[in-house]
Amino acid sequence: MEKSILIIYTGGTIGMVNDPETGVLCPFNFNQIASEVPEIREFGFTIDNHALPEIIDSSDLSPRLWVDLCRVILDNYARYHGFVILHGTDTMAYSASALSFMLERLGKPVVFTGSQLPIGKIRTDGKENLIAAIEIAAAYEGDVPLVPEVSILFGDRLFRGNRTTKVNAESFGAFRSFNYPPLAEIGIHVHYNREAILPPPSSPLSPAAFCDLDTRVAILKIFPGMSADVVDAMIHIPGLRGMILETYGSGNAPTRADFLDKIREALDAGIVIYNVTQCAGGSVEMGKYETSRELLRAGVVSGRDITTEAAICKMMRVLGEHDDPAEIRRQLNANLRGEISLNK
């Protein structure tokens, strides 16, 4: 069967070209993508495109776009072997994380990519990223896709989407996955790290999407000198159900009584607190030091080696599906889509 790939354009730098009359960058017509990237004709298979009705700068990202992306993928799932999502880089890690949790029983590649320079610029990284993303989305052995999960392709690396963070605003190697190895490395050949890639679903059921995310969440990054009033203001946000607590090192936080009292007050009010390290790499190990032992005793959930981007999206998904506090904590502790290492 001839391969077929659907490119979904959400916005972002990769889709920009110079207007010949004004010289201003503007989105190009993706119906003419082959004229901008003629190399894709050499693949010899069907490459279609779909632009979302509202093209956005990724800084304007909202969960509504994640729902739209899920619907486009499911509506076209039977027609295509894989999907490439063109997305702005600033919030790409959030979107890739969100879709990894929202899409259930995914058995085909969903590859996010973008660029640091517009595709219409001479030195653009957009063409190589797009070409590599299409190749990986179409990579099968027989009827089995090589990367049946949500991933991010940028530069010469393919990363698991919910393990990825943007680390550089200028480099063509803008993304890193500090706590999980690349799924593939792109050079003259694409070398797949097969042991790191999630297997296809064993369920015969069709793919689905969970779209009832609960966005009543917040992120609190602790810092030296932070007063208890900051925590108090955060935990009294009307309707708040979950909070990502970005702590020092391996999950450490102040041991001051006023700080811990506010944490306990939040937990007693039913707010779930997820402990995530501020460090780019490494893992939360609650109880290793006295400065994290009190959080553990209070009932704060360890995020292990999860990224902040994945943590906030995972919490939205779990809170949207469950009301029981014990089940919420169990789900946050569980490895749902390869986002955490359980041995950490």
In angstroms and rounded to an integer, the radius of gyration of the C-alpha atoms of the chain is 21
Report the catalytic residues. Answer: 13
**145 phi, psi to nearest 5 deg:** -70, 145
Helix (H) or strand (E) holding 85: strand 82-86
List the beta strands (DSSP E) in 173-308.
175-176, 184-186, 190-192, 208-209, 217-221, 242-247, 272-277, 301-302
In the structure encoding, which two tokens stand for residue 154, read together?
Answer: 């940028």
Measured distance CA(112)–CA(83) in Å, rounded:
8
CA-angle at 299, arms to 295 and 301, nearest 5°? 85
Eight-class DSSP state of 91: T
Tokens of 327: 């089940």
Which runs of consecutive H residues, i.e. helices, occur in the chain? 33-36, 63-75, 92-102, 126-137, 228-235, 257-268, 290-298, 308-321, 325-333
Nearest to 175 by CA among 111, 249, 92, 100: 92
